[in-house]
Amino acid sequence: MGKRTKEIILGQKTNQREAYWSRVRELMKEDEDIVLVVADQGAPAFDLIRKEFPARFIYTGIAEQNSILIASGLAMEGKKVMVHAIASFLIMRSYEQIRISNSVMGIPLTIVGMGAGFSYDDSGPTHHLLEDIALMRVLPGMTIHSVTDNQMARQVADYAVNMNTPTYVRLDRHNDPDIYKNDIDFSKGFEVLRDGQDGYIISTGVMVRQSLNVAERLNKKSISLGVIDIHTIPCKEDLFINAIKNSPRLITLEEHFLPGGLGSYVVEMLADNNLNMAVKRFGLSNGYCYRYGGREDNWAYHGVDEKTVLNKVEDFVKMGGSVEVLKKRG
């Protein structure tokens, strides 16, 4: 194991959405300017918020575009507004409204999407969200928080509510134990969860846990890989470059289409800082997934399951970072 491995907490399982909105409910008791606009009210925490703060809980029905416009109008009046819906519909259906109201006009708004990646694995490609990082990071002024666990979900609620810029919080649907224990520096935008001599696996969201698993299994084969969680885009580029500049290689792993995603963001930072190192990107490259075998089955279809990633990363490291061996295996 690397010399610096942050403690992994195998705590009580809960849901990122519940963790986030339960914390928002606490904040609403202290700040009367916090207002919620929701197009999907499936979270149990919403029942309590609706009962305790009926004047500050606005349910629009399944009308995501209207939700963005109503929320933006309230924000223009000085309210701290959070808008919520299933992420695939909130981002894709409302993209024009987000672009004009929150990027072009710069109206501050916290856009909270539930169901990043294959979260809604059982609902098919209409509910899968595999393009959102690419779409949202291209908008000037937009900050993305790709939430890793429930602890981060609670903390990002505190951080996002006081941001005076457009913000997108992407939550995962599934229940997993927490990774983080300590305070998270959202202004820095990334955390080195584990150091490694042979390179770093850089990941975000649900794939951070898989990256830690791969690194731990490869450590038993005398391959020392660190893990970096880029949870906020854009991150502090100078700090990130300083953290990885002496690494022999980078691997990126994401539950997102490869063009424009996390891997693209990392490669752009390397290019902009004239850093030349071997990089292998793992992401979704087989188009939309029409399989209904569950999340792990979808990962296997796209070659981002733990076994496939482990084997290809092992080859990548042993061959000195060359991508040719990956073509032979893959």
Q: Residue 111 — left, alpha, or beta (φ > 0 → left; ψ -120 to 50 → alpha)?
A: beta
Beta-carbon contacts of 330 under 8 Å, excluding residues fewer than 6 positions away, are 303, 312
Instruction: Give pTM, 2 decimals.
Output: 0.91
The confidence band for 13, taking pLDDT boundaries of 50, 70 and 90, is low
Q: Is residue 263 within 8 Å of residue 233, measured between CB atoms?
A: no
- Domains in the chain, CATH or no CATH each: 16-171 (3.40.50.970), 190-329 (3.40.50.920)
State the pLDDT confidence band at 265, using cuts at 50, 70 and 90.
very high
Report the C-alpha gap between 300 and 175 in whole angstroms. Answer: 20
Q: What is the pLDDT of residue 286?
A: 84
Q: How far apart are CA 213 and CA 97, in angstroms?
A: 39
The CA distance from 291 to 11, in Å, is: 31
> Per-residue pLDDT tens for 279-328?
999 999 888 888 777 888 999 999 999 999 999 999 999 887 544 434 44
- Please indicate whether residue 238 or residue 173 has the higher confidence score (pLDDT): 238
Residue 154 is predicted with a pLDDT of 96
| Per-residue model confidence as pLDDT tens digits over 124-157 | 888 999 999 999 999 999 999 999 999 999 999 9
Question: DSSP letter string over 194-263?
Answer: E--SS-EEEE-TTHHHHHHHHHHHHHTTT---EEEEE-EES--HHHHHHHHTT-SEEEEEEEEESTTSHH
pLDDT at 4: 39
Answer yes or no: is pLDDT of 330 > 80.
Answer: no
